[in-house]
């Protein structure tokens, strides 16, 4: 069922939470259930009010306990004791966010970043030497990329690694304070080794950024010779993670410390790489960050699901003010504005869930497909960047909304929302600042502009790139023919379309993306005169650049949602998901109705109808709100918040307050 046509979810019968969860759990359902079982252990129960040293100690204990479970092994090759299921590893990581985001980040540093860098950038010698101990946390490690003066601009990192032929190794050096490695997880207390990103200098030639395995502590736990370590101290959130600063003062490491999959140095100082072009080599090495962005995206979405579970359940039991006439107090979620606070956010969470599932599947399949082209990898990198930015912004906004929707109870630490809000804040800037990531998406859409400038006008180039990108992403949903049928079936006139016609939705979102991209191309063409500064031209169009990226991601998310509904073989589940999808579409149109009005795709009466549709859908889906959050399958022990666990737990919390 791909077009709801305004039919209510109730007309197809109400599914159980278990049947809906089966669809949500998807391809890696077994992994999700495995992590749910792990998190039921009392060790992983939500805590609050711990001192800094207590929180760090607890998270380390939890990390070591996780090392004994199957989850961390999923990421690594079987020959070293792993399970070699990258998609499963990403899903397992996502589920950890339901417990404690400090644990999630520390696990991400240990296995995703530190271990992932060794796996992706190293060769067999590094895998055999390090990976078994990485998996068991016998070797706690760090991922030392970000510098005080350079975060997202990895190309300009200033730490150096200079080849010393007499000692057959490299000298790692921090030239000044701006080159310190900053905010490094595991560095302040627990890390023994760091993967350090530095500019490789060999015989006076700079070969760009490469990665090195560098010991930072000796066997007694003291800083290694020449290594400076500082504790970043207390943060807004994530205080179970021991972030620190690292500096290196002429630290020598052997030649084998270079993770040399994409660039190696011989004993004579000769440099070789399977990738000739330095810029291509740099971006290939940075491709390892894609895994981190996919992970962060899924974790942020899990945190939003947890917040919505707490807020929706509370909204179904908390009463406020009396109904005129019968004097009965009104349940919060019966208020339309309360529905508008939570239910569109819930609908967007569902939409992003299916986009995230599609992204994980695409990453997993490309990882194991030897025929994956560089072009496909770049498209996947762009998609991961856009979805990461979108989900983390969404999570931050949703958690804040849920906190407000729970009033004073939502401000109490025991109800988890304050901790979630503090912890999720940094997700919008780590693994890439969201604004920069969205610029990356837009540049991907215009990537052929510079290459084709001599032979194609700017407008034609933009359309060419957009069409190629649209086709590539749709193919990954396994529903290209469905999407194309919907676009072809869209009515010619907007006012003739049923407001809930899915073909109209898909066509409208696709048209918006192309229109914005065409406008951006025209704007760039107009600015590029014979003596124009390309940076100034692009900088002046930043608003347009970010709008193009947003329009693209909105369209992709919708298509993933539509494809997931089409693949659902449970009619009642599909019917309910169709109405959730309707609310996602209508609330997105409502948010951007000024743009659609300005560009003639919404008439004033039609724009008012969109607002009314959001109200009607909120009223309809209010009856399914508990079902929709229960389908996330978050165990009661993990939810933890008393206001989400029933009347008695809520009353006890309020009495304690």
Of the CATH numbers 3.30.420.40, 1.20.140.10, 3.40.50.300, 3.40.50.1000, which one belongs to the domain with range 288-636? 1.20.140.10
Cα(381)–Cα(91) distance, integer angstroms: 18
At 227 the three-state DSSP class reads: strand
Cα(554)–Cα(276) distance, integer angstroms: 37
CA angle 144, 147, 151 (to 5 degrees): 100
Place 554 in a pLDDT band, splitting at 50, 70 and 90: very high
The answer to whether residue 450 scores a pLDDT higher than 60 is no
For the ranges 34-48, 422-436, 464-478, which has the lowest average pLDDT?
464-478
Q: For the residues 306-323, what does the mean pLDDT come to? A: 88
The CA distances from residue 109 to 90, 104, 292, in Å, are 13, 9, 9
DSSP 137-167: TSS-EEEE--BSS-SS-GGG---EEEEETTT
Residues 300/353, Cβ–Cβ less than 8 Å: no
The answer to whether residue 123 scores a pLDDT higher than 90 is yes
Q: What is the pLDDT of residues 566-578, one digit of tens each?
A: 999 999 999 999 9
The answer to whether residue 521 scores a pLDDT higher than 60 is yes
CA proximity to 279, closest of 155, 105, 129, 137: 155
The answer to whether residue 476 scores a pLDDT higher than 70 is no
Residues 579-607 as b or e (16 or more Cβ within 10 Å = b): bbbbbbbbbbbbebbebbeeeebbeeebb
Between residues 589 and 10, which one has the greater pLDDT? 589
Token pair of 375, please?
A: 């072009």
Q: How much helix, strand and coil, in percent to the nearest 5, is found in the chain?
A: 60, 10, 25
Place 538 in a pLDDT band, splitting at 50, 70 and 90: confident
Residues 285/273, Cβ–Cβ less than 8 Å: no
For the ranges 93-107, 139-153, 544-558, which has the lowest average pLDDT?
139-153
Sheet order of strands, 244-248 included? 181-184, 244-248, 227-231
Q: What is the pLDDT of residues 139-184, one digit of tens each?
A: 999 999 999 988 767 888 999 999 999 999 999 999 999 999 999 9
DSSP 190-211: T-SEEEEEEEEEETTEEEEEEE
Could you say which DSSP state residue 338 is in? H
| pLDDT score at 526 | 79
Place 120 in a pLDDT band, splitting at 50, 70 and 90: very high
The answer to whether residue 465 scores a pLDDT higher than 50 is no
Residues 63/106, Cβ–Cβ less than 8 Å: yes
Q: What is the pLDDT of residues 254-274, one digit of tens each?
A: 999 999 999 999 999 999 999
Unique residue bearing structure tokens 């046509």: 5
Element (H, E) at 251: strand 251-254
The answer to whether residue 414 scores a pLDDT higher than 60 is yes
| CATH T-level fold of 26-136 | Butyryl-Coa Dehydrogenase, subunit A; domain 1 (1.10.540)
Cα(261)–Cα(554) distance, integer angstroms: 36
| pLDDT score at 651 | 57
Q: What is the pLDDT of residues 17-67, one digit of tens each?
A: 999 999 999 999 999 999 999 999 999 998 888 999 999 999 999 999 999
Residues 24/631, Cβ–Cβ less than 8 Å: yes
Neighbours of 635 (CB within 10 A): 14
Token pair of 423, please?
A: 């912890």
**What is the domain partition of the chain in residue ranges?**
26-136, 141-286, 288-636
Cα(192)–Cα(468) distance, integer angstroms: 46
Token pair of 104, please?
A: 């999630």
Q: What is the pLDDT of residues 284-307, one digit of tens each?
A: 777 767 888 999 999 999 999 999
| pLDDT score at 279 | 80
Question: For the chain, how far is it from start to end, CA to CA, in angstroms?
Answer: 48
Q: For the residues 606-616, what does the mean pLDDT come to? A: 95
Give me the chain's average pLDDT, please. 88
| pLDDT score at 458 | 47
Place 1 in a pLDDT band, splitting at 50, 70 and 90: very low
Between residues 403 and 488, which one has the greater pLDDT? 403
Q: For the residues 498-517, what does the mean pLDDT come to? A: 91
Token pair of 85, please?
A: 């299921």
| pLDDT score at 207 | 93
The answer to whether residue 376 scores a pLDDT higher than 80 is yes
Place 530 in a pLDDT band, splitting at 50, 70 and 90: low
Could you say which DSSP state residue 645 is in? S
**CATH number of the domain at 141-286, please?**
2.40.110.10
Place 462 in a pLDDT band, splitting at 50, 70 and 90: very low
């Amino acid at each position: 069922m791909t077009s709801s046509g305004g039919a209510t979810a109730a007309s197809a019968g109400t599914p159980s939470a278990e049947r809906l969860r089966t669809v949500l759990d998807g391809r890696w359902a077994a992994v999700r259930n495995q992590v749910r079982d792990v998190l039921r252990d009392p060790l992983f129960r939500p805590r609050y009010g711990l001192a800094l040293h207590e929180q760090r100690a607890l998270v380390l204990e939890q990390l070591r306990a996780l090392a004994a479970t199957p989850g961390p092994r999923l990421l690594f090759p079987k020959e070293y004791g792993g399970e070699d299921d990258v998609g499963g590893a990403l899903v397992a990581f996502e589920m950890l966010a339901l417990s404690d985001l400090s644990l999630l980040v520390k696990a991400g540093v240990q296995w995703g970043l530190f271990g992932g860098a060794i796996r992706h950038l190293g060769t067999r010698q590094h895998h055999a030497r390090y990976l078994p101990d990485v998996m068991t946390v016998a070797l706690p490690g760090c991922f030392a990329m970000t510098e005080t003066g350079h975060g997202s601009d990895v190309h300009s990192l200033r730490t150096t690694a200079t080849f010393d032929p007499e000692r057959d190794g490299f000298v790692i050096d921090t030239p000044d304070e701006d080159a310190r490695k900053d905010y490094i997880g595991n560095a302040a207390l627990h890390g023994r080794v760091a993967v350090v990103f530095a500019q490789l200098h060999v015989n006076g030639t700079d070969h760009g950024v490469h990665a090195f395995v560098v010991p930072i502590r000796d066997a007694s736990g003291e800083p290694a010779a020449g290594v400076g370590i500082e504790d970043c101290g207390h943060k807004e959130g994530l205080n179970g993670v021991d972030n620190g600063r690292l500096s290196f003062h002429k630290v020598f490491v052997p030649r084998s410390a270079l993770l040399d999959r994409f660039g190696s140095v011989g004993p004579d100082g000769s440099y070789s790489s399977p990738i000739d072009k330095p810029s291509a080599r740099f971006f290939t090495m940075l491709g390892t960050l894609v895994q981190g962005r996919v992970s962060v995206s899924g974790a942020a979405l899990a945190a939003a699901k947890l917040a919505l579970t707490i807020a929706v359940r509370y909204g179904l039991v908390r009463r406020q003010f009396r109904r005129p006439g019968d004097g009965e107090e009104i349940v919060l979620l019966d208020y339309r504005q309360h529905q508008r606070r939570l239910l569109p956010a819930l609908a967007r969470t569902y939409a992003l869930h299916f986009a995230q599932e599609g992204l994980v599947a695409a990453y997993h399949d490309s990882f194991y497909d030897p025929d994956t082209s560089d072009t496909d990898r770049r498209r996947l990198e762009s998609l991961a960047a856009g979805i990461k930015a979108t989900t983390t912004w969404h999570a931050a906004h949703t958690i804040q909304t849920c906190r407000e929707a729970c009033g004073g109870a939502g401000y109490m630490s025991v109800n988890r929302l304050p901790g979630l809000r503090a912890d999720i804040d940094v997700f919008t800037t780590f693994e890439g600042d969201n604004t920069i990531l969205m610029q990356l998406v837009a540049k991907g859409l215009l990537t052929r502009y510079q290459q084709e400038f001599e032979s194609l006008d700017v407008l034609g180039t933009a359309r060419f790139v957009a069409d190629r990108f649209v086709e590539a992403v749709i193919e990954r949903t396994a529903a290209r023919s469905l999407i194309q049928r919907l676009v072809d079936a869209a009515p010619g006139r907007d006012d003739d379309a049923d407001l809930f016609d899915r073909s109209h939705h898909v066509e409208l979102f696709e048209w918006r993306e192309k229109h914005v991209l065409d406008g951006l191309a025209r704007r760039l063409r107009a600015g590029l005169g014979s003596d124009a500064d390309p940076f100034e031209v692009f900088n002046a169009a930043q608003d347009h650049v970010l709008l193009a990226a947003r329009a693209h991601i909105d369209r992709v998310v919708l298509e993933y949602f539509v494809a997931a509904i089409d693949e659902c073989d449970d009619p009642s589940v599909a019917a309910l998901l169709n109405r959730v999808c309707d609310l996602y579409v209508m609330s997105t149109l409502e948010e951007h109705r000024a743009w659609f009005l300005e560009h003639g795709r919404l008439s004033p009466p039609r724009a008012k109808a969109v607002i009314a549709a959001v109200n009607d859908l909120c009223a309809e889906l209010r009856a399914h709100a508990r079902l929709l959050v229960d389908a996330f399958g978050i165990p009661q022990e993990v939810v933890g918040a008393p206001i989400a666990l029933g009347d008695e737990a809520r009353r006890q919390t309020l009495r304690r307050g």
